[in-house]
């Protein structure tokens, strides 16, 4: 494993070996079964290309009413618990007693991307965000704490984990594109990103 720091984002390259990545996919299977992926729409009514679901006490949703955390999946049931294997990553990299309230699961199929944004729907920005990459490679773009300006890009590969904390907690970031089919971790291809956050 090597760590690179880009604009305050600590990226642990190869944090999860192949066995650990496969294990995470296994523990995510029941999560996806009880809380199926859905395609959020923005407040303006545009469908996002990424499909999402969550685990934890709080799940991130977006629809015509805007972005927010909700205690239940749009279909009505409460979110499943965050699997222990995922909480272990948080504990190891943050060293915090406080555990995340939310594990957002993003699925990027062919052509999916995520525009530049800040993570700012949480109450306390002193907690870091931990972001796990699984499956296909993704081109991650890192900007500034205000919109616009020069950016830097880095490829995130399966098993990489990024920690956004300190002044970088509110840095703009996004996914320009994935290299569909570049990994064999997911049987149907694509990429899963797990984002762990303290919400309340």
Residue ranges that bind ligand SIN, judged by CB under 6 A: 106, 114, 131, 133, 138, 140, 156, 173, 175, 193, 195
Name which of 119 and 136 has its Cβ closer to Mn ion.
119
How many CA within 13 A on the CB side of residue 176? 11
Which helix or strand (DSSP H or E) is residue 58 part of? none
CB of 116 to Mn ion, least distance (A): 9
131 binding partner (options Mn ion, ligand SIN, none; Cβ < 5 to 8 Å by kind): ligand SIN
How many CA within 13 A on the CB side of residue 103? 26
Residue 86's nearest CA partner among 194, 199, 4 is 194
Name which of 94 and 196 has its Cβ closer to ligand SIN.
196
CB of 31 to ligand SIN, least distance (A): 17
Residue 3: CB partners within 8 Å, gap ≥ 6?
Answer: 10, 11, 12, 13
CB of 82 to ligand SIN, least distance (A): 16
CB of 114 to ligand SIN, least distance (A): 5
CB of 192 to ligand SIN, least distance (A): 9
Residue nearest to Mn ion (CB): 119
Beta-bridged to residue 164, according to DSSP, are 9, 129
Name which of 73 and 197 has its Cβ closer to Mn ion.
197
* Per-residue binder mask for Mn ion (CB under 5 A), 101-140, x = binder: ------------------x---------------------
Residue pair 125/168 in contact by the 8 Å Cβ criterion: no
Bridge-based pairing of strands 9-13 and 161-164 is antiparallel
Q: Which residues bind Mn ion (CB under 5 A)?
A: 119
């Amino acid at each position: 494993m090597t760590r690179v720091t880009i604009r305050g984002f600590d990226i642990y390259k190869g944090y999860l070996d192949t066995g650990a990545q496969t294990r995470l996919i296994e523990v995510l299977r029941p999560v996806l079964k009880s809380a199926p992926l859905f395609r959020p729409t923005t407040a303006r009514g545009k469908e996002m290309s990424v499909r999402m679901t969550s685990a934890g006490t709080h799940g991130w949703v977006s629809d015509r009413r805007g972005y927010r955390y909700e205690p239940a999946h749009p279909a009505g049931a409460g979110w499943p618990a965050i699997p222990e294997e995922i909480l272990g990553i948080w504990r190891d990299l943050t060293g915090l007693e406080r555990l995340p309230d939310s594990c957002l699961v993003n699925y990027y199929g062919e052509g999916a991307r995520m525009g530049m944004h800040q993570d700012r729907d949480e109450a306390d920005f002193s907690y870091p965000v931990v972001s796990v990459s699984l499956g296909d490679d993704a081109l991650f773009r890192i900007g500034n704490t205000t919109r616009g300006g020069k950016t830097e890009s880095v490829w995130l590969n399966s098993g990489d984990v990024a920690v956004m904390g300190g002044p970088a907690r509110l840095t703009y970031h996004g996914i320009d594109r994935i290299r569909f089919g570049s990994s064999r971790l997911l049987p149907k291809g694509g990429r899963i990103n797990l984002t762990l956050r303290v919400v309340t």
